[in-house]
Amino acid sequence: MGFWDIFKKKEKQKQKIKKTPSLPTTKNKKAKESDNSTDKELIINDSLLEELVYKWEGGDEIIDSLVKEASNQTEANVKFIEYLVNLIDSEKLEIPMLPDIVMKIINLSENPDTEIAKYVELIKSDQAIALKVIKLANSTMYKGIRDVNDLNLAISRIGINELKNLVLMLSLQSKIFKNKEFKELIEEIWKTSLLTSILSSKLASYYSLNASNAYTIALTHDVGEIIVFNSIKGYEQFYKRKYKVDAYFIKRIAKSYHQEISAFTLAHWNFSKEQIDIVRNHHTPPMDNSNDYHKLLFIAYQTSVILLNFKFNKDNIYNFPYEFLIKFSKLPLSEDAFYLLLKDSLKEFNDLSLIIS
């Protein structure tokens, strides 16, 4: 028995859903409605996925689990599950494209001999980012003897890795971590992702690992939650806002399935298999033989959640549960080094938040 047969059987038993929307099977994405039928064709823009060959490992598990979620839910919540499962089953989740400037700066940075002039030329193409680069160079994080107003000097001052991190950060914040309906939730996810990326990067430097790689993994690890929240727009358009989904339910679905959806998103963005696998398993406590970046992300994420939820600052930072966290991180980090890391990371987080606001 196929998945949709199982799903229909469950719906029929509950007498909640009479019709199941079907995904289009041709490249013609125009919605069709027959005068003699209530069947509709789901409008999904899957042009970004046509060349994607990656098959996410947990797709079937997500579908099976979502079917179980349909039990004891309101009709609107069941409709949302039905819609989301349809997207997952057909690999038609609408994944946003990374801005061109992100891909271009990554390509430039892969060649260590790339001249500063190339970066200047690229950054000049985005005035908003250019202003933020100069603002960062003149901040307390990098401030020299005098302020700089020249991009060449600003980039030289902050360095290529920091430039790449800033471009990725600004692009994600402005283009992807945006949703008016769930603004507060998205901002909460963004703050956690930003602080996690800062902590992970500093940990990487401490252990002589690639700080930029650690930063990128951490900043994108929860993007799957954003994909779920953004799917609401398509859901409401399809059902013409007839079924209002409970916001708490959407948040729970996003939290429950974001790891696999984040991994799927990173695959779409051509991230490495290592990066994808780390994001897919970032809530799994690492073992002694786990990937080093997995260990970094795990401790950085757990630390960020505690720091933000309990509003830690430089005055009460020594109340942070060091022993509890280190026990599960599998990282040999001294207590003094840990608290210094926390203080430096919180300061950078606050400084960056002002710069990019």
SS3 string of 272-314?
A: CHHHHHHHHCCCCCCCCCCCHHHHHHHHHHHHHHHHHHCCCCC
**Span between the terminal Cα atoms of the chain, in Å:** 52
pLDDT, one tens digit per residue, over 147-185 is 999 999 999 999 999 999 999 999 999 989 988 889 999
Whether residues 222 and 322 share a domain: the answer is yes
Looking at 88-92, 230-234, 304-308, 311-315, which range is the least confident one?
88-92
- In the predicted structure, residue 196 carries a pLDDT above the cut 90: yes
Residue-level pLDDT at 58 = 60
How far does Cα 24 stand from its chain's mean position? Answer: 28
What's the pTM?
Answer: 0.80
Whether residues 163 and 290 share a domain: the answer is no
List 6's β-bridge partners, or say none.
none
Whether residues 161 and 208 share a domain: the answer is no
Whether residues 121 and 198 share a domain: the answer is no
Whether residues 220 and 166 share a domain: the answer is no
Q: How far is CA 136 from CA 228, 237, 282, 341, in A?
A: 32, 40, 30, 21
Whether residues 279 and 334 share a domain: the answer is yes
Q: How confident is the model at residue 19 (pLDDT cuts 50, 70, 90)?
A: very low
Choose one of 138, 160, 175: the last residue of a domain. 175
List 7's β-bridge partners, or say none.
none
Structural domain of 135: 97-175
Whether residues 71 and 190 share a domain: the answer is yes
* Residue 187 near residue 139 (C-beta atoms within 8 A): no
Structurally, the chain folds into a number of domains equal to: 2
- In the predicted structure, residue 111 carries a pLDDT above the cut 70: yes
Q: Structure tokens of 218?
A: 């951490």
What is the CATH number for 301?
1.10.3210
Whether residues 54 and 196 share a domain: the answer is yes
